Every structure is written in structure tokens, then in C-alpha cells.
């Protein structure tokens, strides 16, 4: 399996600042954004990277031009670099973001710690698929082949009767940010039995998506019902409309994650995610 590249995971729409902006102007840009700094470009060429920490050194010179206080040059990557090598650069030098340039040294994107995490989550999928495949084969006496394809959301047959609203919000945010973690499904004659990815699917449905990337387990016998299929039938699950959304309690994952926060602050985290989903 070829290594994932920076070009596959970088953000192409990059917020930049000009070297002719003042310290105060860039300070205000950072305050108004979710970023800790920006690439400095001129006519598309990458000149450097300015961070909030560097601006603090020049807070007494609010009208100074960035070109007079900036450090020339910055560490960078190219689109063909592997995400593993980009991870090493971010880790070794304690960086949050790594600008990406083309052969002319023009800025074409940026890759961050978040993008690296996204690549690692997606990279872990093959191992999980093989574990599920082996389990289903042993439990049901079938053989499965693995294929990758896009499937219609309206073709999904759920095997889980409940999802949590707080985790649903988080999944919507992830999808909007480009975390495209494929589903794991079993192909049936009447659709696709969903093995892994119920919160993802419900989030995609709420966002109005029509199809989704999936890793499909294709059985050698369509007439033998597997255990999950029998469970879905027993619970009356035929489509995503049959899945209940729980709003009154937290998903176990969020319960653990927010256990040290006051309840109002924990609720505020999800509200910010909801606002982000609406704004994008």
C-alpha cells in the first residue's frame, strides 16, 4: 500500500498575510481566527511564517511592517512528501503547521497536526477491516472478499438502534473538516448492512450527503443470514430513519473526554461545534 502524501491531506485554501501588513493588523487577524499564526506570502511566494509568540516580541511596535520584524524563511514541505516525513518535521521542531510549496516555492497548501491525525485515523482502517472480516467468516461459515466503492446512503441497513446527539455533532464537524473515514459494510441483495460507522452515517445524512466511501465485504453466499442481519431484523431496522437519536445523555466517549469540565463548559464545546458546522 503506497504511503499517503502531504498533497492528499493538506489544506489548499490557506489564510495568509502580507509582509506589508503591520504587527497590529496581523495581531487582529490572529485574534479573529482559530489559528496561532499565518504564512507570509508575496505574489504567491512563501517568505516565512509569523506566529502569535513572535508577534508578542514586537507588541511595543504595533505599526512596524511585518517584513521588518519577520524571520526570513521557514520550514516547509512539498506535495509529494509522505505524511510520515511531514510528521517527523512537525514532531522534531515542535510545529503545529507546515506550509507546502511547489517547485517554484509558491505556497500551495498547509498541513497541520490535525491533518496528520486525520491521515493516521484513515490509515488504521485496513487492520480493523481484516479483524471484522475474520470474525464474520468464523462466526458465519462464509468467505468474504474486500472491495472499495462509494455507496448510496439510502441503501444502508443499520445494525445499531441508537446514536448519541453529542457524538453526532462531533462527526458532522469531522466530515466538514475532511475526515473521510470509510464505512465498513456487508453487501446484501437489498442493500448494505452497516457494520461500523453509524454516527458517521447519521451525520452524513444530516448534512445532506447522498453517498459515502465504503469498504465492502462481499460474501460468497447471499442467502446465509449473518448474526448482525438477524439482530437488525429483530429490532426493526430497515433504514437510517429507524435509528433513534439520544439527546438527553452523553456518548461514553464524550462522557470521558469532558469529565473534568463544568457541565456548562462541556455543553459549550458542542455548541461551538454546532456553530462551526452551520457557518461552513
The owner of cell 493588523 is: 25
Strand bridging mode 244-246 / 162-164: parallel
Of 227, 234, 246, 216, the residue nearest 156 (C-alpha):
216
CA distance 167 to 199: 7
CA distance 102 to 194: 41
Our measurement of the distance from residue 156's CA atom to the centroid of its chain's CA atoms, rounded to an integer in Å, reads 22
User: For residue 127, what is its C-alpha cell?
Assistant: 487492520
Domains and CATH numbers, the chain: 6-119 (3.10.580.10), 124-279 (3.90.1530.10)
End-to-end CA distance of the chain: 33
CA distance 275 to 172: 11
pLDDT by 10s per residue, the chain, length 280: 457 899 999 999 999 999 999 999 999 999 998 888 999 999 999 999 999 999 999 999 999 999 999 988 888 999 999 888 888 888 878 889 999 999 999 999 999 988 888 787 776 567 789 989 999 999 999 999 999 999 999 999 999 999 998 888 888 888 887 777 889 999 999 999 999 999 999 999 999 999 999 999 999 999 999 999 999 999 999 999 999 999 877 788 777 767 666 777 777 777 777 776 665 5
Amino acid at each position: 500500500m503506497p504511503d499517503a502524501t502531504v498533497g492528499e491531506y493538506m489544506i489548499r485554501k490557506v489564510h495568509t498575510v502580507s509582509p506589508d501588513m503591520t504587527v497590529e493588523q496581523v495581531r487582529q487577524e490572529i485574534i479573529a481566527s482559530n489559528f496561532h499564526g499565518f504564512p507570509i506570502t508575496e505574489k504567491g511566494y512563501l517568505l516565512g511564517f509569523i506566529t502569535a509568540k513572535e508577534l508578542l516580541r514586537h507588541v511595543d511596535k504595533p505599526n512596524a511592517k511585518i517584513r521588518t520584524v519577520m524571520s526570513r524563511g521557514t520550514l516547509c514541505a512539498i506535495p509529494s512528501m509522505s505524511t510520515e516525513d511531514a510528521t517527523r518535521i512537525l514532531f522534531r521542531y515542535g510545529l503545529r503547521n507546515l506550509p507546502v510549496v511547489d517547485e517554484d516555492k509558491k505556497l500551495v497548501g498547509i498541513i497541520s497536526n490535525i491533518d496528520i491525525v486525520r491521515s493516521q485515523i484513515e490509515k488504521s482502517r485496513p487492520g480493523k477491516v481484516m479483524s471484522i472480516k475474520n470474525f464474520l467468516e468464523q462466526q458465519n461459515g462464509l468467505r468474504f472478499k474486500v472491495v472499495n466503492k462509494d455507496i448510496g446512503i439510502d441503501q444502508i441497513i443499520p445494525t445499531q438502534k441508537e446514536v448519541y446527539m453529542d457524538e453526532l455533532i462531533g462527526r458532522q464537524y469531522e466530515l466538514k473538516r475532511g475526515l473521510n473515514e470509510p464505512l465498513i459494510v456487508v453487501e446484501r441483495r437489498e442493500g448494505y448492512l452497516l457494520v461500523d460507522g453509524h454516527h458517521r452515517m447519521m451525520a452524513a445524512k444530516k448534512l445532506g450527503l447522498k453517498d459515502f466511501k465504503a469498504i465492502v465485504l462481499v460474501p460468497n453466499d447471499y442467502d446465509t443470514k449473518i448474526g448482525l442481519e438477524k439482530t437488525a431484523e429483530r429490532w426493526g431496522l430497515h433504514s437510517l430513519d429507524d435509528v433513534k437519536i439520544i439527546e438527553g445523555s452523553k456518548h461514553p466517549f464524550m462522557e470521558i473526554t469532558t469529565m473534568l469540565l463544568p457541565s456548562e463548559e462541556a455543553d459549550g464545546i458542542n455548541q461551538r461545534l454546532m456553530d462551526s458546522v452551520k457557518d461552513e
